[in-house]
Every structure is written in structure tokens, then in C-alpha cells.
Structure 1
């Protein structure tokens, strides 16, 4: 086009007038369709005449779109490299590269192959028109142009462009939503296939991240006041992320509704989206959060997807909890059946031997065997009770340790000696290897002996006749390690992770070959953890033996102030070499249980003492006033007024009235706190039921010498009489 020639606008042809009248109706329809589309489209004007560019721009500026100007074909092509256009107004005659050459190059690029081109020229040459349409031009306008017609035609292509863009965005959104739903379906399978709540929440958090394309997700499940599970899947860490997540979680859990925060420009962290996890009854049990959406705020569609994921998670959590409850009930029923069996078995043996003793049909050797059997089964029942009490202390957090410096070598030796009779009876070889360089540990001697004894008895129990049990002690720098290895039944791969759980037994059936409650190893692990140590179980599989490893922190050398604790014997207390004599001693027994009162009276009387036996605190005070006893043996659990009330009333008396009478507490309340309470109330010492007669007589003798200044320190407990009593320190 010749320079200086402007765009003339005097009048328009009839065909242009008709198009101008029809086009507004089309634009109106398109406008209604595109009412929700607000983005601006780009229009490219290409002409070598600046005056014509200005004139065209003035016509089109009413459309409110972005107008890009180029004065040559090359400049137009450069613009097309960086952006897309709704329509191109292209002059035909330009120097260097005319409009047709420019259009041909535009059509060669895939990105602009279908971009509408309107040729604008002052030369009505039919040959040019044909060539323009051959280049897929949508129109060929001659100047002078009618502004209304040009605006209408361009607006049609602008609206088509915006509509196409909207359709493209919708198609992309649908594609993304389909991909999200596919990932949601895959997540459902993974969530329901999780083996634990922790694993499930890890899957949920990762799925939320992947599905919504965000850098951080947090899943929290609150089962109850004491049990909360949380999983974080994050590629980034926002400033104060945990505090912000806690604030969002408190809102979601309080309202039990989804919650969204909006993005603030330049502020971190970006917006949050959180939805609740709910039970079937509608109660909240946690939340699922995502944050850090790369572009814009979270949408309603994002919320809907996260709500679906949260609903699937809630159902899976409840199913898991229901499964845990069923398993807990099964274990409870199985445990109660086992307790019944383990208690009834020794009771049956004792009743049988007692029946035979009462009939008098046993010779002296048979009577001795009967007494040994009764004693052995009483001790078996005592061990069961002690294990149950220890479990109760573990559950309530009342299991305590009295820490001192302890040499593990003597502990292991005594534990090994105590299980030798059982090992020899089965033909099992027990070997020990103790590293003399293994230093002391800071711990409770009695509890550590209980721990090692449990490991050894467990190994003996599950090792067949002719097998072998090895116990090793080794020092390794900052730790001491005790290993108990056996050639026994081994542990299956499925059961190995549960071997230290209470009530768990690899074979809980009625036909199991080994007895016990399934509490020993649970107690072992807890005692080890109380000492700052850890337990580990290893086994290649069933029938291939097992190894239990106890690791304890070695003493650091800064515990010189701690006394090295003597190891209380784990072995059962043998009968005294010389019977205890209480000749000339008057003993007042206070026990409300008639059978126990009679048995105690006979035992003490056989030691040479004079005995007065009563059943209540009031009767005891009356007996004290009538005849002054040398020592009081009193049960704690008395009716109306217990033993604590009685001892306080006794100590309130003057010494000449019996206020200084030695007193021994006898009680089935056997925790360290019970012992301390008894001594604090005024008793000289405390004996836990059941107790062996020799131990009881020795305790009475010690209490008498205590008052004359010949005995041990007041309140010191007697050594345990039974193997399991070594653990009765908490």
C-alpha cells in the first residue's frame, strides 16, 4: 500500500450494511454464551502505514481487547512466536514481505494455522481476493471500511476465540478431573489395603498431594483422647506450618465442615483447604488438609475431591478400628480362657493331692510328693498373679524401677542357676558366656533379674528335649547386650512383629503345647524400656530357633554416688538349715480369714510361740489390753477398721501400754507403695501374701531383734521367696 494513503470512511456498500445489521444478533448470542468469560483477547494489526494502523486501532478500541501492532510481516511473525491472536488484520501490499507471503508463513506454523486472517486492502483485484481465500483467509475487506462492520466482524472472531479458549479450558479441567477421579479410585484401593492406621494416613496424605497437585498434605486421625495418628506428606515446609495447620484443624474439628483460606499476594504459606474426617454417627475424628496450591485459590471442585477422599478415609479408619476392636475382644476372650486354664490346672493338681492326703492312703514317700506338688502349684499360681499385677502396673503407668549400679554378670548367673532344674528335666543344655569387661548398668536389680529369668524360662519352654539354650553378655562401648539364643520352635514371620504384645501367643488354641498367659515378653519389653533399653526378637522361621536381644545403656562413669546394688536371688528360697525358734514369744495374730488365721496360728505355734488369734481390730485392741504380746502380725484388709487404723491406734498408746510393740504387716497388697505405706503407718516391716512359712518366721524373728537393736534397718523388706517375687518391686 502507498505510504500516506489513509483509510477512507465516507460510506459503505449495501452488502456491508446487511452484514452489519445481521452481525449484532450473532454477537448478542455469543455474548450471552460467553458472559462468564472475562479475559481479554489479542488482535494483531499488520500494515506498513502508521496512519492506517492508527485508524484501525481507533475503530477497534471500543471492543476493549488488546491490540498489537506490526509494521511489517517479519514483525508480525515475531509477535506470533510469543502469543496467540483472536484475529489478524493484514494489509496486502507491504514492502519486502507482502501480506500473502506473511499469511503463507503464518499458516506454516501449527500454532497459528487456524488463526482467522482478514485482508484489508484498497485494491479490489479479484485475483488478489482469490489468492487471499486460498490462504484460508476468513474475509477480504476493501477500503474505505465501515467502522461498524469492521468492529462487528472482528468481535465475532474475538468471541469465537474466547469461546474456544473456554471450551479448551473446560476440556482440560475435565481431563484433570478424570485423572483425579482415577487417582482417587487407586487411592481407595491403597487406603483399604493399608495394614495399620499409620500406614493408611501416609497413603491418604500422599494421595491428597498427588491428586490436587499441591506440595503439602497432612492427615490426622483422633481415635480417642489418648490416641492420635498423624501423617505429613510434604515437599516443602512453610513458616509456622504446624501452628497454622493446628489452627485450621481446630476450626474444622469444631465445625465439622470444610474450610478454605484465600491466597494473599506475596504471603506464605499459600491458602489452605481442609475437610473433616467423620464417624458414621457424624462425630469428628480428625481432618485432612492440603496447602500450597501453585496458582490461585482452591476451588469448589478441589473441595469436592478432597471431601470424597476424606469420606473414603473415614470409612476405612472405622473399619480398621472395628477390626482392632474385634481382634481385641478375641484376644481378651482367648486370654480369659487361658487365665482360667492356667489357674485351674494347678488348682486341680492341688485338690487331687489334698484329697489323697485327707484319705490317708499315701505312704510317707507319697505324702512327701503330695506336699511338693502342692507347693510347686502354689508357686505356679503365684507367678500367674504376679504377671497379671505387673501387666496392671504397666497399663496404669505404675511400674517403677529403683535404679542403682548393677553388675549384669551375677544377675545372669543367678537366673541361669534358677532355670537349671527345668532345663535338666528336659535334657536341654544351657551354656553361658559372660564378658568380664561388660561394665555395670544403672537399673533395678530385681527387675533385671525378672527380665533375664523370663527370657530364659521362655527359651526352655519352647525348646524341645535335647536342645540348647545359650546366654551371652557382651559390652559394646556405650551399651551392654544380653542375648538368649535357643534351638527351639522359632517364630513365624507373621507373628514376629507381635511377639512383645500382651495376650499374644503364636498358638492360642486349646491344643497348644506350651502354657502361660502370653504376658512374659510384654513385661520384658516394658521393663527394658523403663531402663532406657530395648528388646529385639529374631528368628529365621518356625522350627529354626530364636534369639532375644536385650540392649541396655552402660553406666557412664558419672554414677559413682550410686551404690552397687546386690542382686536379690532369683532362685527359690530353700528351706532354712536351722529352723527359726520363737520359744517364749507371745504373738498376736489379726486375720479376718478363718482358714488363713488357723494356718498362721499352727505355723507360728510349731516354732514354739504362744499364739493369740483374733479377727478384727477391735478384738486385737482388747487382746492387747488383756495380755501384752511380744509382737503383732496383722493383716491389712480387715473389716470395719483396717490394719492401718489398728497400727495408728497402737502407736498412739504409751510404751508401757503396748505402743512400742513390734508389728509386721501381712497383706495381699504387694506393691512397693503398699510396703512404704505400711511402714509409714507404724509397722516395722511388710510381708506380701502368699509367703513361705520359713520366710514368715524369719521376718517375725527379725522384727523382734529389730526392736532390741540387733536387726536390720526398719522397713527393709525380706528377700523374695519365689522366683516371680523378684519382680515384685513396683
Structure 2
């Protein structure tokens, strides 16, 4: 990683173009901007400047406005018209024009700053340094992206790709935020790009996880009696779920930042939400031989909340407690009423938190462990997501710890359900299991051969008749002679994407009777809406939980028998 204050030898010199028709002015500028990190190139006319721009790349252009053959404004207009040079920042220098109309004209040509001679030396140096640093970071980001693409091309393991992508993401967010902090509009643009990147990242990471999940279920079906295989499949299954959880957390943070999460509130019991959260983390607790104690009050405490999102917040806290403890630790969860609030405490005997970090741990990408000792993994977004989810419910969270090795305690406060929300609590009890549907004819379409082959083999092992294809056009052709009851269709396929394929199938004779299910790495609400509008009945996000797939196959809609196998 680049040091925060690199020595001159560690800095790759960047090109800075100085344009002025007066040699003495060029000499002065060179003296002012002399720096080991800069390569200063002179031009005494607009033509020389254009020639230099065709030959070199520049971090910034310092340009005199009043030149005889071509004014600085005219030169700036030509520069901004060329795609190769349009993004080069331009700082105008002038000793003649001070009126607002002239300054506005300068900014109108695309300049980023307008300084009057005699120039304040410190201001000019500072502005040039900002653009030079931004140029270096943009080039570093491009180099990182190129390296990342090279790693993907070499088909490294999914876990290694995830690590590299997460490191790139953290570096990119940090560099972008630091570089653009001075401008509110630029910060908004950076956040928009970050959200797009997260959506693409989630999609690209979910795709390779899907066939891994299918293969795990297939191994369990075919080698259930082999304890070594069962241990291996359990390990793989846990890691797939961990990676899926990281992806979901990233997307949830992004959606909350954009205001795209809407809570589905209802009257719920706090005890039921805690039970669901604990069961979600139970495998990790048991594996680490931790002791978990829950202390609930005798009275029933009700909240007006989104059960799924609140369970997610509690699960994050219990998961962190279990993860940041050595084996045989203890977790105490306590619930009590204080006036019109319910207070839930999560106390553990783990590694503890330094007192000066108790507030910052709720910030995005904050880590309790140092970068060199991050043996327990994580992106540092779980607590930030938890706080935001609780705040959406009108609640709050605080942290306590006596320091390293002294354990931690997180205190959650949530408003109790009011008198106007006194609807009956939902009935407790398990949802009845779906009945098996028998043999189905299933068409699987995905441009990933691994996805098609593993999913086809899994569905076949479950007793279904399956055909796999690798494009939308092949899926269209298969509809004619295979006549499937269910189509599992990837969205991001080249040529004919999943949306268009679904619409085309719906337009065929008998296409309205086929159950269409989108299986995709795109899982935002807008993606579900687009799938519904295209004609899909179901929407599953990769990596698909095999249990969710089995539940789909057991749906009550499968009332008609499958077409007999020829």
C-alpha cells in the first residue's frame, strides 16, 4: 500500500503543461512549481500546447488567457472538444481580465479554476498538487482494475477473487472519498458510481458462487454416507453462505444510503425476532463451543417493526460476538423494558474494543482488529449496517468495553409498539412443509457452463427431467420439442438476454402456462420489478439456496403431470 506521506523517490513524476507566450512567465512558473514529483513541459503558443497534448498525458494544464496567436479560451475550447484531452483540468492565469463576465466565460470553456496575476504562490502550488495527486490516484485505480481483470482471466479461486475485489473496493471508496471531499457535487457523483460498482460487484461475485452451492447439495445427495465428504460439503456450504452474506451486506448498505429500503412493519414480539436471529447464528456458536444465555422478561414486549430487518440487525451483533471470541466463550443476551422502550443487551467475553474506538466502530469499513491481524475476516460493514437498520426503526445502538481482552457489550434501544398498533401478534408456529411435486420437466438456461451442468445434475438427482442450454436462442429452440413446465433462466446472457427470452417464450403457443423463474446475480428491488414486467413468475438471486430451490419445486402450483419422457 502507498504510504500516506511518500518520499519524492517513491512518487512517479506526472506531466504538467505550462502555456504562456512570455518566456519570463514560463521561467517563473517553473520556479514556483519545481518539484521532484512533477515533469514540467513548456509551450509558448496554442499550437505548441496542442502538439504537446497529442504526445503526452497531463495531470493539469496551467494556461495564460491572453496569448496573441490563440487565446487561452480558444485553446481550452479545442482541448475540451477532443475526447483524449477533454478531462485534463485547466487552470487559467490572467493579469488583464477581472470582470465577472470574463471569469464566467473562462469557466464556461471547461476550466476548473481561474487565478489572477500576480498569482499567490501557495495557492497555485496547492491547486496543482491536488490535481497531480488526483491524477496519480486515477492511474493507480486503473492499474488496480487491470490487475483485477487479469486475475479473473486466470480463473483464480472464488475466495481469492473475493478478497482481491474487496481490497480494491475499500481502496477505491477511500481514495474517491478523500479526493472528492472538497466538492459536494463531486461527492454525490462518487457515491452514485460506488453504488453502480457495488451492484455490478454483487452480480459478478454471485455468479461463481451459484454452481458451488449446487455442487454442495449434489455431493450431499450422492455421498451422504461418507463422513469425510459430509464434513467437506459442510465447510464449503458455510463459506458460500459467508460470502453470500458479505455481498448482501454490501448491497443493503448501498440501498440504505440511497433511501431504497422500505420497512415492512407489523406488530411483532421481540422474543420471536431474537429466536430467529439466534437460530441463524447457531451453527457458528456450536462450532466454536460458545455458551449462549438469553434472559427474557415475563411480560410479552411488542414492537412495530420489520421482523426480517430487525432479525438481520440482531444476527449481525450475535455473529460478531461469536466470531470475535476464542473457543469456549460466552454470550449473554438480555431484554428488559425501560419506560416506552425495550433495551436489548449483547454481552460477550471476546477480544474487546479499545476505548478510543467505541464510536468509530459503527463507521463504514471500520475494523476492531488491525490490518495485520485480521485473522477473523469481515469487511467492517456489519456494525454500520446494523446501526442504520436500527435507526430506520427509530432505535439506537451504543458500545461498551473495558479495552482489549475485556469483552464487549452492545446496547440496543427500540421503541415499543404504541396503543394505535395493538393488532394481535402473528401466531407462532412453523410454516407447513410444501408437498413434493413429483417429476417436473425443467429447462435450465445460463451462459455459465458450470451453472448449467451442476444445476442440471442436481435437479436430475432430485428426480426431475432436465435439459440445459447456454443461451436465450437455445432456450427458445428447446421450448418447441422439450415443452418444459418450469424454466430457470439467467438474465445476463449475451445475444438474447433473459428478459427478452422470457417475453419471447410468453409469446409462443402455450408459453403462458410455463412457470418462468429468473435466476440471476441481480437482486435489487428494481431488478425484481423488471423481471416481473418481463413475465417472470419467480425471482431467485444467486447463489440460490438449494432449500429455496427445492421449495420452489414443491410449490402447490404444480398440479398437472409432466410430459412423459420420450
The answer to whether the superposition gives a TM-score over 0.5 is: yes
For 1:370-449, what aligned pairs fall within 5 Å after superposition? 370-449=232-311
Partners in 1 of 2:236 and 2:517 — Cα distance? 26
User: Offset at 1:471?
Assistant: 0.7
TM value normalised by structure 1 = 0.45
SS at structure 1 position matched to 2:419: coil
Report whether the alignment pairs 1:558 with 2:385.
no
Which residue in the other structure is 1:669 paired with? 522
User: Offset at 1:382?
Assistant: 1.5
- For the 8 Å contact 1:382–1:690, the answer to whether it is kept is yes
Which residue in the other structure is 1:300 paired with? none
Partners in 2 of 1:703 and 1:683 — Cα distance? 17
1:678 aligns with one of 531, 541, 546: 531
Question: Are residues 479 and 692 of structure 1, via their aligned partners in 2, closer, same or farther at CA, if it must alter by over 3 Å?
Answer: same
Which residue in the other structure is 2:378 paired with? 516
SS at structure 2 position matched to 1:510: helix
SS at structure 1 position matched to 2:271: helix
Report whether the alignment pairs 1:630 with 2:485.
yes
Which residue in the other structure is 2:362 paired with? 500
Question: Are residues 336 and 686 of structure 1, via their aligned partners in 2, closer, same or farther at CA, if it must alter by over 3 Å?
Answer: closer
- For the 8 Å contact 2:437–2:555, the answer to whether it is kept is no
Partners in 2 of 1:337 and 1:458 — Cα distance? 23
1:591 aligns with one of 423, 436, 446: 446
- For the 8 Å contact 2:437–2:556, the answer to whether it is kept is no
Which residue in the other structure is 1:691 paired with? 544
For 1:29-428, what aligned pairs fall within 5 Å after superposition? 339=166, 364-428=226-290
- For the 8 Å contact 2:350–2:408, the answer to whether it is kept is yes
- For the 8 Å contact 2:435–2:555, the answer to whether it is kept is no
Which residue in the other structure is 2:512 paired with? 659
Which residue in the other structure is 2:322 paired with? 460
Please identify, of 417-426 and 687-696, the stretch whose mean Cα deviation from structure 2 is larger.
417-426
Cα deviation, 1:403-448, whole Å, max 9, x if unaligned, reads 2222211111222233344334434321111124353222221111
Partners in 2 of 1:703 and 1:613 — Cα distance? 24
SS at structure 2 position matched to 1:441: strand
SS at structure 2 position matched to 1:405: strand
Report whether the alignment pairs 1:607 with 2:462.
yes
- For the 8 Å contact 1:628–1:658, the answer to whether it is kept is no
Which residue in the other structure is 2:497 paired with? 642
Cα deviation, 1:457-504, whole Å, max 9, x if unaligned, reads 111122333432111122223222211111222211221120101111
User: Offset at 1:590?
Assistant: 1.7
**Aligned residue-pair number:** 378
User: Offset at 1:567?
Assistant: 8.9
Cα deviation, 1:123-152, whole Å, max 9, x if unaligned, reads xxxxxxxxxxxxxxxxxxxxxxxxxxxxxx
Partners in 1 of 2:387 and 2:114 — Cα distance? 36
Partners in 2 of 1:491 and 1:692 — Cα distance? 35
Which residue in the other structure is 2:197 paired with? none
Which residue in the other structure is 1:545 paired with? 407
Supply the RMSD in Å over aligned alpha carbons: 4.5
- For the 8 Å contact 1:431–1:470, the answer to whether it is kept is yes
User: Offset at 1:528?
Assistant: 0.8
Please identify, of 517-526 and 669-678, the stretch whose mean Cα deviation from structure 2 is larger.
669-678
Partners in 1 of 2:309 and 2:260 — Cα distance? 14
Question: Are residues 694 and 419 of structure 1, via their aligned partners in 2, closer, same or farther at CA, if it must alter by over 3 Å?
Answer: closer
Report whether the alignment pairs 1:621 with 2:483.
no
Question: Are residues 494 and 402 of structure 1, via their aligned partners in 2, closer, same or farther at CA, if it must alter by over 3 Å?
Answer: same
User: Offset at 1:659?
Assistant: 2.2
TM value normalised by structure 2 = 0.57
- For the 8 Å contact 1:338–1:517, the answer to whether it is kept is no
What residue ranges of structure 1 are gaps of 5+ in the alignment?
Answer: 1-253, 258-280, 285-310, 358-362, 709-730
Cα deviation, 1:511-550, whole Å, max 9, x if unaligned, reads 3342211111011011111112111112232222221111
Larger Rg: 1
- For the 8 Å contact 1:473–1:482, the answer to whether it is kept is yes
- For the 8 Å contact 1:664–1:687, the answer to whether it is kept is yes
Partners in 1 of 2:390 and 2:529 — Cα distance? 25
Partners in 1 of 2:272 and 2:114 — Cα distance? 56
- For the 8 Å contact 1:631–1:704, the answer to whether it is kept is no
What residue ranges of structure 2 are gaps of 5+ in the alignment?
Answer: 1-99, 104-111, 116-121, 145-161, 171-204, 220-224, 562-566
SS at structure 2 position matched to 1:522: helix
Partners in 1 of 2:427 and 2:527 — Cα distance? 23
Partners in 1 of 2:435 and 2:559 — Cα distance? 19
Question: Are residues 697 and 643 of structure 1, via their aligned partners in 2, closer, same or farther at CA, if it must alter by over 3 Å?
Answer: same
- For the 8 Å contact 2:343–2:411, the answer to whether it is kept is yes
SS at structure 1 position matched to 2:519: strand
Greater RCO (CA < 8 Å, at least 6 residues apart): 2
Report whether the alignment pairs 1:700 with 2:553.
yes
Which residue in the other structure is 1:534 paired with? 396
Question: Are residues 400 and 439 of structure 1, via their aligned partners in 2, closer, same or farther at CA, if it must alter by over 3 Å?
Answer: same
User: Offset at 1:282?
Assistant: 6.6
Cα deviation, 1:624-645, whole Å, max 9, x if unaligned, reads 2234222222112222222222
